[in-house]
C-alpha cells in the first residue's frame, strides 16, 4: 500500500488483508467486542466499493461480498448481511456459501421476530435458500464447505419440523398483488421496495408487495402502570419521522421539473454550477431527519435500559461505553450472556459513524457522512450539477455532486431503517431476558389503543 498500488491490485490487497486479520477471530466465542472485526469490515468495504470492483473476476467478487456478509452477520447486522448475500447471488445465483449463509441469517432473523406471519415467511424463504444450497447446481469453492452443507441440511430439516412449508407454497404470499390506489402511490411503493426502505422485515426478502406496509412495532414489553405508552409513542414518532424523510428523498431524487416555488428566485450560474432547487432541499431535509434518528434511538435505549446517562450526554455513538471507555455492564460484554444481537447490531452500526479522530470505524466513508451532516446543519454544503467538481482555492463550501449526495442520503436512510428494526428486535430480546426476574410480580394487561385512521393523520 505504501507503494501506492491501485486498481485491481488494491482490491486484492484489501481482500487478502481482511482474510489475514480474520485469522485472529476464527474459532473464538461470539461476543459483542470483536477486536479484529471492525478492521475486517473496513478493508472488505473498501474493496467492494472500489470503482474497479465490477471488473474483477466473478469468484473474487462473490468471495468479497460473502465475507463481508459474514462479518456483518457476526456483528448482528442481519439486514446488511442479507443484502450482501443477495449481491453475491446477483453475480452468481448458484454460489453455495451465499445460499447457506442467507438461509442461516434468515432463520436467526425469523426467530427474533414476534409476529408469527413474518416469522413464517422468513423461515419459508430460508428453506428455499437451504434447498438451493443443497442442490447439485450449487457451486462451492472451498474444501471445508462440506460442513456448511451439512449444517444447512440440519437447518432445512428443522424448518420443516416447525413450519408448514408445503402449505405456504400453496398460498405463496410473495405473489400477492399491489394494493396501491393511484399510479403515483404505486410508483412510490415500488421505489421503496426496490431500495429496501419499507419498515417491514419482509422487505429484506426482496421486492414483494406483501412488504409495502411499514408494519414494524415494538414487541410486547412491560412498563410502569402510570406510563403505559412511554416507549410505544416514542417509537411511533421515530417511525413517522423516518417515513416522512423517505418521502422527501423520493421526491427529491425523482423530481424532473422545477417546482413553482423555485420560479422568480434569481440565482447565479457560478462554476462549478450549483444545483439549487426545492428537490435538493428535500434531499437535505431527508438527510437531516435520517441522521437525527440515531441520537434519538440512543435516547430511547438510555431510558429503556435505565443507563442513567444525562440527556445532554447521550449520543448514538457514545451510548455503549461508560467510564474509562469500558462497555456498560447492562450490555453483553462477556460472550453470549444475553444473546441480544438486536442491540449488538446497533452497537456495531454506530461504528459506521465518525465523531472524533480516534474513533474506531468500520466504514471507509464514515467521515464523509459526518462532514456532510456538519456542513448541511452548520456550514455550507454546495451540491453541484457536475460530478467531481473542482473546488476553488479558499472556497467556504464542502462540494458534492448531486449524484453523490443522493447516494449518501439513500445510504443514510437505509441505515436508519436498519436501526429502527434492530431497536425493536433488541427490545424483544431484553424483555425475554428480564422475564425470569419478574416471577411473582403482579402484571396486568394494558387495554389496547385503536390505531389512527388515515383521515385522522392530519
Which tops the pLDDT comparison, 151 or 336?
151
Is pLDDT of 115 > 80? yes
Beta bridge partners of 171: none
Whether residue 272 is preceded by a cis peptide bond, meaning omega within 30 degrees of 0, is yes
Average pLDDT, the chain: 90
Task: Report the chain's C-alpha Rg in angstroms.
Answer: 23
Residue 173 predicted with pLDDT over 80? no
pLDDT tens figures, 202-219:
999 999 998 999 999 999
Q: What is the mean pLDDT of residues 35-62?
A: 93
Is it the case that residue 439 has pLDDT exceeding 90?
Answer: no
- Who wins on pLDDT, 225 or 72? 72
Separation CA 50–CA 67 (nearest Å):
16
Cβ atoms of residues 101 and 129 within 8 Å: no
Angle at which helices 58-74 and 78-91 pack, to 10 degrees? 170
CA distance 58 to 65: 11
411 burial class (0-12, 13-18, 19+ CB within 10 angstroms)? middle
User: Rounded to the nearest 5 degrees, what angle is found at the Cα of 252, between the Cα atoms of 251 and 253?
Assistant: 95
| Residue 75: count of CB within 10 angstroms of its CB | 25
For residue 332, the model assigns a pLDDT of: 59
Q: How far apart are CA 166 and CA 29, in angstroms?
A: 36
Please check whether residue 175 is in contact with residue 160, taking contact to mean a CB–CB distance below 8 angstroms: no
Question: How far apart, in whole angstroms, are the C-alpha atoms of residue 213 and residue 197?
Answer: 10
Q: What is the mean pLDDT of residues 125-145?
A: 92
Share of the chain above pLDDT 90, in %: 65
Which of 174-188, 275-289, 377-391 has the highest mean predicted lDDT (pLDDT)?
275-289
| Cβ contact 122:205 at 8 Å | yes
Residue 336 reports pLDDT greater than 80:
no
Least confident range from 39-48, 224-233, 292-301: namely 224-233
Confidence of residue 334 (pLDDT cuts 50, 70, 90): very low
Give residue 16's pLDDT band: very low, low, confident or very high (50, 70, 90): very high
Residue 358 is predicted with a pLDDT of 65
Q: Supply the pLDDT for residue 449.
A: 79
pLDDT, position 338: 57
pLDDT at 28 over 80: no
Rounded mean pLDDT, 168-180? 79
The segment with the largest mean pLDDT, out of 27-36, 362-371, 434-443, is 362-371
pLDDT of 139 strictly over 80: yes
DSSP H or E run through 116 = helix 116-134
Least trusted range by pLDDT, from 146-155, 327-336, 430-439 = 327-336
Alpha-carbon torsion (356, 332, 28, 134), positive or negative: negative
CB 452 within 8 A of CB 244: no
**Where are the extended beta strands (E) located within 375-454?**
381-384, 398-401
Per-residue model confidence as pLDDT tens digits over 90-113:
999 999 999 999 999 999 999 999
Global pTM? 0.93
Residue range 398-424, pLDDT digits in tens:
899 999 999 999 999 999 999 999 999
Report which of residues 227 and 347 the model is more confident about.
347
What cell numbers appear for 415 in the block? Answer: 441505515
Amino acid at each position: 500500500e505504501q507503494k501506492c498500488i491501485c486498481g485491481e491490485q488494491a482490491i486484492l490487497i484489501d481482500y487478502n488483508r481482511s482474510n489475514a486479520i480474520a485469522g485472529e477471530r476464527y474459532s473464538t466465542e461470539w461476543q459483542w467486542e470483536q477486536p479484529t472485526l471492525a478492521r475486517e469490515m473496513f478493508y472488505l468495504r473498501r474493496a467492494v466499493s472500489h470503482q474497479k470492483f465490477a471488473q474483477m473476476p466473478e469468484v473474487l467478487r462473490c468471495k468479497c461480498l460473502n465475507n463481508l456478509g459474514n462479518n456483518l452477520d457476526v456483528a448482528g447486522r442481519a439486514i446488511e448481511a442479507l443484502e450482501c448475500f443477495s449481491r453475491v447471488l446477483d453475480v452468481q445465483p448458484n454460489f453455495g456459501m451465499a445460499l447457506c449463509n442467507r438461509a442461516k441469517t434468515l432463520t436467526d432473523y425469523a426467530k427474533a421476530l414476534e409476529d408469527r406471519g413474518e416469522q413464517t415467511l422468513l423461515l419459508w424463504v430460508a428453506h428455499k435458500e437451504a434447498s438451493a444450497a443443497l442442490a447439485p447446481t450449487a457451486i462451492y469453492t472451498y474444501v471445508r464447505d462440506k460442513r456448511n452443507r451439512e449444517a444447512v441440511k440440519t437447518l432445512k430439516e428443522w424448518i420443516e419440523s416447525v413450519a408448514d412449508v408445503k402449505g405456504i407454497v400453496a398460498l405463496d404470499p410473495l405473489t400477492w398483488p399491489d394494493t396501491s390506489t393511484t399510479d403515483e402511490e404505486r410508483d412510490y411503493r415500488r421505489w421503496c421496495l426496490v431500495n429496501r426502505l419499507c419498515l417491514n422485515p419482509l422487505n429484506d426478502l426482496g421486492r414483494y408487495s406483501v412488504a409495502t406496509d411499514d408494519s414494524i412495532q415494538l414487541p410486547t414489553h412491560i412498563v410502569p402502570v402510570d406510563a403505559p405508552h412511554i416507549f410505544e409513542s416514542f417509537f411511533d414518532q421515530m417511525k413517522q419521522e423516518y417515513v416522512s424523510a423517505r418521502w422527501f428523498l423520493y421526491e427529491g431524487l425523482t423530481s424532473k421539473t422545477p417546482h413553482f416555488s423555485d420560479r422568480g428566485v434569481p440565482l447565479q450560474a457560478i462554476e462549478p454550477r450549483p444545483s439549487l432547487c426545492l428537490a435538493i432541499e428535500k434531499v437535505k431535509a431527508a438527510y437531516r431527519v435520517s441522521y437525527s434518528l440515531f441520537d434519538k434511538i440512543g435516547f430511547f435505549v438510555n431510558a429503556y435500559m435505565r443507563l442513567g446517562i444525562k440527556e445532554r450526554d447521550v449520543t448514538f455513538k457514545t451510548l455503549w461505553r461508560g467510564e474509562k471507555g469500558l462497555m456498560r455492564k447492562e450490555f453483553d460484554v462477556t460472550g453470549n450472556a444475553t444473546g441480544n444481537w438486536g442491540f449488538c447490531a446497533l452497537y456495531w452500526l454506530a461504528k459506521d459513524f465518525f465523531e472524533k479522530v480516534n474513533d474506531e470505524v468500520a466504514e471507509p466513508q464514515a467521515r464523509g457522512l459526518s462532514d456532510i451532516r456538519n456542513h448541511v446543519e452548520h456550514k455550507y454544503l454546495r451540491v453541484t450539477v457536475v460530478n467531481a467538481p473542482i473546488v476553488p482555492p479558499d472556497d467556504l463550501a464542502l462540494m458534492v455532486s448531486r449524484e453523490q449526495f443522493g447516494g449518501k442520503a439513500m445510504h443514510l436512510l437505509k441505515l436508519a431503517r436498519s436501526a429502527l428494526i434492530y431497536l425493536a428486535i433488541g427490545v424483544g430480546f431484553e424483555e425475554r431476558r428480564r422475564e425470569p426476574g419478574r416471577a411473582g410480580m403482579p402484571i396486568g394487561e394494558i387495554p389496547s389503543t385503536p390505531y389512527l385512521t388515515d383521515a385522522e393523520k392530519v
